[in-house]
């Protein structure tokens, strides 16, 4: 009996002795000192300040990025992506769809005022239509898969569940990566085919002053093969498409490009003071944000283009369907181009089949 009491007393004494020995070290650590009188940073504040500013330590692995414990810009990137980028993008798409719906309810479908003539004129050949649909089809898939990455977890995931959403997102990722190259080919081909028709001219100013003739019946401003609105779409698509392609390549092949550092250096040459000493992770974050911004801007604009080229205007979709458009439609929307074509052929358009 006494032996058990003595044993228990010995255990208690041992525990209290250990705690007494550890207490000074714990108190020293709480006060910012390093236990064991080893060399080191003297306060937790200094330690975390060192870590939070992105300073790199040393690692034995080959990946040097692993030496950075906390990359503080990542907080800013996440906040920007999940905050303003997502919110403003969704707001822009909603506003465009709302405006198009209101426009359709007020203006209705823009009809051929003189009615179909029964005669057609070739507007786009096979190579033109191929370039258009290669670019447009891939862009639609890229847009939908990109929107899924941005909003899918909030909209699709609660409906279909994690397993189906995971399969959709994984498949969408591969589609996004591979169809990006189809988009680039279509973009380049479209530029080569149509750039000569999209050089701005004085006629475009008149077209813009008249609102393109889409807001009021009986108004048909002069236009060649591409009117001012189509030229704006063309240049926005070309410049935006090139930019989103470059940032997309940088994202597909990470840590191998310095696009933003080089771009900032160019801007600095004209008086700006942008950072050029960017880490590989910072380059990727800039690429991702820019890719999202440009893509959302293109989507908002292209939605309007799809509307006016399909349900918004009678006869417009034929240009990219069969390539042949009704002669009266062509005269109302591209009268100068019709005159040029008729002078070339010196004959009348063939009857529609």
What are the angstrom distances between the C-alpha of 167 and each of 4, 28, 153, 171? 64, 52, 13, 6
The tens place of each residue's pLDDT in the chain, 353 residues long, gives 555 555 545 544 454 454 444 444 444 444 445 444 444 555 667 766 766 666 666 666 666 666 667 777 788 888 999 999 999 999 999 999 999 999 999 999 999 999 999 999 999 999 999 999 999 999 999 999 999 999 999 999 999 999 999 999 999 999 999 999 999 999 999 999 999 999 999 999 999 999 999 998 889 999 999 999 999 999 999 999 999 999 999 999 998 999 999 999 999 999 999 999 988 888 999 999 999 999 999 999 999 999 999 999 999 999 999 999 999 999 999 999 999 999 987 755 555 54
What angle is formed at CA 146 by the lines to CA 189 and CA 237, rounded to 5 degrees? 30
pLDDT at 11: 44
Domains of the chain with bracketed CATH? 2-67 (no CATH), 75-124+198-345 (1.20.950)
User: Over the range 293-330, which residues count as b (16 or more CB within 10 Å of their CB) and which as e?
Assistant: bbbbbbbbbbbbbebbbeebbbbbebbbeebbbbbbbb
pLDDT at 252: 95
User: Over the range 131-147, which residues count as b (16 or more CB within 10 Å of their CB) and which as e?
Assistant: bbebbbebbebbbebbb
What angle is formed at CA 200 by the lines to CA 194 and CA 205, rounded to 5 degrees? 135
3 state DSSP class of 253: coil
In the DSSP assignment, the letter for residue 122 is: E
Distance, CA of 218 to CA of 117 (rounded, Å): 17
pLDDT, tens only, 80-114 = 999 999 999 999 999 999 999 999 999 999 999 99
Distance, CA of 246 to CA of 251 (rounded, Å): 9
User: How many other CB atoms sit within 10 Å of the CB of residue 122?
Assistant: 16
pLDDT at 15: 44
Instruction: Provide DSSP, 159-206.
Output: HH-HHHHHHHHHHHHHHHHHHHHHHHHHHHHHHHHHGGG----HHHHH
Helix 280-308 / helix 126-155 crossing angle, nearest 10 deg: 120
Distance, CA of 333 to CA of 174 (rounded, Å): 41
């Amino acid at each position: 009996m006494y032996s058990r009491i003595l044993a228990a007393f010995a255990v208690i004494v041992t525990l209290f002795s250990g705690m007494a020995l550890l207490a000074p070290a714990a108190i020293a650590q709480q006060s910012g000192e390093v236990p064991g009188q080893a060399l080191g940073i003297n306060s937790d504040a200094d330690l975390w300040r060192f870590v939070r500013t992105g300073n790199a330590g040393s690692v034995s692995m080959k990946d040097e990025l692993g030496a950075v414990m906390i990359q503080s810009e990542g907080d800013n990137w996440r906040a920007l992506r999940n905050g303003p980028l997502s919110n403003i993008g969704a707001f822009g798409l909603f506003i465009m769809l709302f405006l198009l719906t209101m426009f359709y309810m007020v203006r209705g479908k823009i009809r051929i005022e003189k009615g179909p003539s029964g005669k057609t004129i070739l507007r786009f050949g096979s190579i033109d239509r191929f370039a258009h649909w290669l670019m447009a089809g891939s862009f639609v898939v890229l847009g939908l898969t990109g929107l899924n990455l941005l909003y899918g977890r909030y909209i699709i995931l609660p409906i279909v569940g994690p397993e189906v959403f995971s399969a959709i997102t994984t498949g969408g990722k591969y589609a996004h990566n591979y169809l990006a190259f189809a988009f680039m080919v279509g973009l380049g081909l479209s530029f080569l085919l149509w750039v000569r028709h999209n050089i701005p001219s004085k006629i475009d100013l008149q077209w813009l002053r008249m609102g393109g003739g889409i807001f009021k019946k009986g108004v048909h401003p002069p236009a060649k093969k591409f009117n001012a609105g189509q030229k704006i779409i063309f240049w926005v698509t070309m410049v935006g498409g090139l930019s989103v392609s470059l940032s997309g390549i940088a994202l597909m092949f990470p840590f191998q490009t310095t696009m933003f550092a080089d771009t900032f250096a160019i801007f600095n040459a004209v008086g700006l003071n942008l950072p050029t000493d960017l880490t590989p992770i910072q380059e990727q974050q800039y690429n991702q944000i820019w890719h999202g911004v440009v893509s959302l801007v293109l989507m908002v604009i292209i939605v309007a283009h799809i509307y006016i080229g399909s349900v918004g205007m009678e006869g417009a979709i034929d240009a990219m369907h069969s390539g042949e458009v009704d002669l009266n439609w062509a005269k109302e929307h591209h009268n100068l181009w019709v005159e040029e074509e008729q002078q070339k052929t010196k004959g009348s358009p063939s009857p529609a089949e």
